[in-house]
């Protein structure tokens, strides 16, 4: 767990929310909800050690492995 | 939600040109060279076929459902639930791709010039610039594309200064091992050409619709010409070595020395390609954000831009520990993944849509007939 990263990401997320809030306020609830869900997703994912975790890229690579053999 | 944004068909074509060629010029010659050896200049020609097909599909789909993007008409064609699942997948596809493009760009910059800069700094700064452009909207993207187009072609104008070190005999023997190596070399570029499907997100904003098909075809043709010229140039300068480098064009421009005065032109070329990559990243980024706002029926897409920026950087890092993995994805997985999502899948949608429309038309015809006989 890197505390610096957590602190940096939290500050960044806070800044983004502060910056967007005035423009977000008059918009409908759906807009606000999707904004906060996306922000939370970004903040949450950044807490992991992503480069060494299996994710979408590894999934797609293993999915197309049988075809990739044609190119090797 | 969408405002009254309008871009011209020409601007859309230029956006598509950047969306394909900006990163293609950096990595494609190296990948193609590995397979096609000294016939690498033929591969972009085969690869462009999928580009023309994709433009045709995107245009036809848009004709059937005017003023709608892929996110909206996939819900009409497949029904509400399945359409939403498909749209979500499309958004994920472009988000993931944007992340990998940003990562590829950052590896390119860090690998060639800023060797001691942390890669996250390069990635975040580019995403911030692209976020500003995306917040500006489609019109801003279209105008920057017009402005940067000629700048982007400067490297082509610099090529003749290496005429002295070009050797025509590198070209021969043409098709030494038959056509097969050139087809294998076309595998990666054809995935790049399928990216022209992004025009499905821009077509609803085009003011002169009748020219949009022509603009799309022209941008595919232009990209094909550019890639062919660059591959030919690389071949004539380096011969079969081209496939051994990761960024062969960069290496070739490093050789340029005119009268011992014009030197280190690789940094100029690098700057110009960063402009192109900015354009490419912002087009992908824009498609992701606008697609999300259309899927959820939001009034304004702009608040979503910055949160998506974080996700783009995260996608660029996720399960990609080093440069090797970026090029492995580009070489082995993307040649199948890209065209499958961006060409084959829209083709299925188009067939379904035709089928539905015909069913409706014949049904309407029958009712009209029965009405006629009854009255």
Q: What is the mean pLDDT of residues B326-342?
A: 88
Q: Which of residues 56-95 of B touch A (CB under 8 A)?
A: 92
pLDDT of residue B371: 47
Question: Is it true that the peptide bond before B173 is cis, omega within 30 degrees of 0?
Answer: yes
- CA nearest A39 in B: which residue? B307
Q: How far apart are CA B310 and CA A20, in angstroms?
A: 14
Q: What is the mean pLDDT of residues B346-368?
A: 79
Per CB-CB distance under 8 Å, the chain A contacts of B184 are: 70-71
Using 50, 70 and 90 to split pLDDT, how confident is the model at B364? Answer: low
Which SS3 state, helix, strand or coil, does residue B7 take?
strand
pLDDT digits (tens, 9 = 90+) for B73-106: 898 888 889 999 999 999 999 999 999 999 999 9
Residue with the larger pLDDT of the pair B246 and B193? B193
Residue with the larger pLDDT of the pair B313 and B361? B313
When CB atoms are compared, the residue of B303, B311, B317 closest to A31 is B303
Q: How far apart are CA B351 and CA B364, in angstroms?
A: 20
Torsion region of A53: left, alpha or beta (phi above 0 gives left; psi -120 to 50 gives alpha): beta
Q: In this structure, what DSSP letter does residue B262 have?
A: B
Question: Hey, which residues does B258 pair with through a beta bridge?
Answer: B262
Q: In this structure, what DSSP letter does residue B244 have?
A: G
Inform me whether the pLDDT recorded for B369 exceeds 70: no
pLDDT of residue A64: 86
Q: What is the mean pLDDT of residues A28-49?
A: 88
pLDDT digits (tens, 9 = 90+) for B115-131: 898 998 999 999 999 99
> Which one, of B303, B291, B288, lies nearest residue A27 by Cα?
B303
Q: Is the CB of B306 inside 8 Å of chain A's CB atoms?
A: yes
Looking at this predicted complex, what is its ipTM?
0.91
CB contact under 8 A, B303 and A41: no
Nearest-CA distance from B150 to chain A in Å?
35
pLDDT digits (tens, 9 = 90+) for B259-283: 777 777 888 888 999 999 999 999 9
pLDDT digits (tens, 9 = 90+) for A51-67: 888 888 888 888 888 88
Nearest-CA distance from A12 to chain B in Å?
9
Per CB-CB distance under 8 Å, the chain B contacts of A20 are: 303, 306
Name the token pair of A6: 């957590």
- CA nearest B188 in A: which residue? A71
Contact (CB, 8 A) for B290 and B103: no
- CA angle (B274, B277, B278) in 5-degree steps: 85
- CA nearest A64 in B: which residue? B333
Q: Is the CB of B129 inside 8 Å of chain A's CB atoms?
A: no
CB contact under 8 A, A60 and B329: yes
When CB atoms are compared, the residue of B92, B100, B306 closest to A20 is B306
When CB atoms are compared, the residue of B100, B304, B329 closest to A35 is B304
Contact (CB, 8 A) for B299 and B1: yes
CB contact under 8 A, B321 and A51: yes
Please report the domains of chain B, with CATH numbers, ordered by start residue: 9-374 (1.20.1740.10)
Inform me whether the pLDDT recorded for B54 exceeds 90: yes
- Which of B89, B297, B306 has the highest number of chain A CBs within 10 A, making it the mutation to test binding with A? B306
CB contact under 8 A, A58 and B332: no
Contact (CB, 8 A) for B88 and B70: no
When CB atoms are compared, the residue of B298, B304, B317 closest to A51 is B317
Q: Which of residues 239-268 of B touch A (CB under 8 A)?
A: none
- CA angle (B27, B28, B34) in 5-degree steps: 105
């Amino acid at each position: 767990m890197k505390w610096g990263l957590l602190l940096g990401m939290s500050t960044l997320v806070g800044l983004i929310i502060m910056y967007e809030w005035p423009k977000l306020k008059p918009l409908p609830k759906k807009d606000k909800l999707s904004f906060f869900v996306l922000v939370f997703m970004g903040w949450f994912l950044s807490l992991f050690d992503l480069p060494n975790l299996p994710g979408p890229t590894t999934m797609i690579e293993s999915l197309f492995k049988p075809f990739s053999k044609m190119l090797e | 939600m969408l405002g009254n944004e309008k871009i011209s068909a020409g601007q859309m074509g230029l956006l598509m040109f950047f969306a394909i060629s900006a990163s293609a010029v950096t990595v494609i010659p190296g990948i193609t060279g590995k397979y096609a050896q000294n016939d690498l200049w033929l591969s972009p020609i085969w690869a462009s076929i999928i580009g023309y097909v994709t433009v045709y599909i995107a245009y036809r789909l848009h004709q059937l459902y005017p003023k709608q993007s892929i996110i909206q008409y996939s819900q009409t064609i497949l029904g509400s639930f399945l359409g939403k699942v498909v749209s979500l997948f499309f958004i994920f596809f472009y988000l993931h791709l944007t992340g990998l493009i940003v990562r590829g760009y950052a590896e390119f910059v860090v690998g060639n010039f800023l060797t001691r800069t942390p890669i996250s700094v390069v990635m975040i700064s580019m995403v911030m610039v692209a976020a500003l452009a995306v917040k500006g909207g489609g019109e801003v993207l279209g105008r920057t594309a017009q402005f940067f187009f000629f700048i982007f072609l400067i490297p082509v104008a610099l090529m003749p200064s290496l005429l002295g070190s070009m050797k025509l005999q590198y070209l021969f023997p043409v098709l030494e091992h038959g056509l097969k190596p050139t087809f294998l070399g076309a595998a990666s570029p054809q995935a790049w050409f399928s990216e022209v499907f992004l025009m499905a997100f821009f077509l609803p904003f085009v003011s002169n619709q009748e020219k949009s098909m022509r603009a799309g075809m022209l941008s595919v043709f232009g990209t094909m010409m550019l890639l062919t010229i660059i591959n030919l140039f690389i071949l004539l300068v380096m011969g079969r070595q081209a496939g051994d480098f990761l960024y062969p064009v960069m290496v070739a421009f490093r050789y340029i020395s005119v009268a011992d005065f014009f030197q280190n032109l690789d940094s100029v070329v690098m700057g110009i390609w960063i402009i192109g990559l900015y354009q490419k990243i912002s087009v992908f980024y824009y498609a992701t954000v606008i697609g999300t706002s259309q899927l959820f029926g939001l009034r304004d897409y702009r608040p979503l831009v910055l949160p998506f920026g974080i996700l783009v950087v995260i996608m660029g890092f996720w399960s990609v520990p080093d440069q090797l993995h970026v090029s492995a994805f580009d070489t082995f997985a993307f040649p199948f993944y890209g065209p499958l999502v961006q060409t084959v899948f829209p083709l299925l949608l188009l067939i379904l849509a035709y089928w539905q429309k015909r069913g409706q038309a014949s049904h309407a015809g029958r009712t009209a007939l029965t009405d006629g006989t009854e009255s």
